[in-house]
Amino acid sequence: MARKRALNIDGSGVRTLPQALSLLIVAMASAGTAWAQAPLRQLSLDDAIRLTAENQSLRARNFDLKAKQAAEITAGLRPNPQFSYSPSTLTPLRSVDNTLSVAQTFETMGKRDLRVQSARADTRISGFQVQDFERQLAFQVKSTFVSALVAKTSLEFAQDNLKSLDEVERLQRLRFQKGDLSGLDLVRLEGQRYDFERDAADARNSLQSAKTTLRTIAPDRIAEQFEIKGDLVYREFAPARPDLMRVLMANRPDLKAADAARDKSQIDIDLARANAYPDITPSIGYTRTHDGQDLFGVSISVPLPLFDRNQGERARVAADAARIQAERAATYSQAAADLDTALSNFGTARQKVTLLRETYVPKAKEARDRTETAYRRGAVSLLDFLDAERTYRSTTLNYIQSLGDYWTAVYQIEAATGSPVQP
């Protein structure tokens, strides 16, 4: 009896050990599902790219693709047979001839097959357009993430400078209180602090703006308050235009869409020509006469193309094919221009990063550190210290921005080629 009470919860809940284990497993599974769906509070670049699959604009384009796939079914359907019944009254309310007939239209010149080919080509175009949207969306996400990293790094730099300046300011206030420092020098020092506080405020605003944009990727999967995970670091990359051009020609989705549109236009020309020829509709009829005779008949119906020979549609698809060919040439030219622009931006950004990273930032930091040490000892003036501080600040901020431009250019190359190429 005691054992039964141990397994019985308040006399109405779980009464057996297997039931208790089952409920525990269900609860753990539910908790695991809730944990798996919990909004992200730290967002890395890989997370952001992965979440683009849940982007609503991308989902809308995928639904459009499904609609195009459904159109293939419609294109392949055969015409429905036609059934007719016709009673013929010879004498009112007495003698009636009943006629039944079934007709089936047969399409000529391969129209059905051409319709299916055209619908499939349209589906291929939509599929490549979805991939091209993914390409552009990925670049937007990557460039925005780089902006967030630039703002995050700039904010950390400004906060470090504020901490260093706080220490200098604390020491100088002590000197001011002892009469060893003029009030003007202290005001100048406080003025420098404003520059760092402004840098921090601007960085916070830029970071929040970038995070707001990133959250639009999948608002339900990213927490309202989240942190950017990642560091802005330099990695060498030496792209070769001929290799990138080959990658571009093989992978860029908008080029594939342009090729598919060209193929579809030729199919549509063939279909318009085929539609100029009439279809044949044979029919079989049966008549039961009023005097009990059974009559069978066969007939064929063919429209006579005396006036409508599909002239307008043939002219339209021919003009459309010429337009598509011109757009295809423009798309190829634009793709090459995109790559050249990306490579130019990359070359400029890499040159700036290399100079700043290897020469100017180290020198500016060394000058700032030495001047600060000398200023603490009273060996140099406050103006010299502030000048060295401003030079280090502007040089480092330029380096951080150049790093952002460098990675943006790398991702621009990836967008231009339609394939990952980063180091």
pLDDT digits (tens, 9 = 90+) for 99-122: 899 999 999 999 999 999 999 999
Lowest mean per-residue pLDDT among 30-39, 197-206, 406-415: 30-39
Tokens of 377: 């000892």
| Beta bridge partners of residue 295, listed in sequence order | 287
Span 230-289, pLDDT tens digits: 999 999 888 899 999 999 999 999 999 999 999 999 999 999 999 999 999 999 998 888
Smallest Cα–Cα separation from 283: which of 97, 106, 76?
Answer: 106
* pLDDT (average), residues 71-76: 93
pLDDT above 50 (res 15):
no
Query: DSSP alpha helices (H): ranges in 77-110?
Result: none
- The alpha carbon torsion through 34, 36, 41, 43 (nearest 10 deg) reads -160
- In which residue are the tokens 């000058």 written? 367
Smallest Cα–Cα separation from 349: which of 413, 282, 274?
Answer: 413
* pLDDT (average), residues 71-95: 81
At 1 the three-state DSSP class reads: coil
pTM higher than the cut 0.85? no
pLDDT above 50 (res 153):
yes
* pLDDT (average), residues 376-399: 85
Lowest mean per-residue pLDDT among 20-34, 196-210, 250-264, 390-404: 20-34
Mean residue pLDDT of the chain comes to 85
* pLDDT (average), residues 401-419: 94
Distances in Å between the alpha carbon of 390 and those of 26, 29, 161, 363? 62, 57, 11, 13
Report residue 11's pLDDT band, with 50, 70 and 90 as the boundaries: very low
Give dist(CA 98, CA 87) in Å, integer. Answer: 4
What pLDDT is recorded for position 1? 40
DSSP code per residue over 150-169:
HHHHHHHHHHHHHHHHHHHH
Q: Parallel, antiparallel, or unpaired for β 222-228 and 40-43? A: parallel
Span 198-218, pLDDT tens digits: 889 999 999 999 999 999 998
Sheet holding 82-91, edge to edge: 82-91, 95-103, 281-288, 294-301
Which residues have a Cβ under 8 Å from the Cβ of 295 and sit 6 or more positions away?
A: 286, 287, 288, 289
Q: Does domain 39-77+126-256+322-417 have CATH number 1.20.1600.10?
A: yes
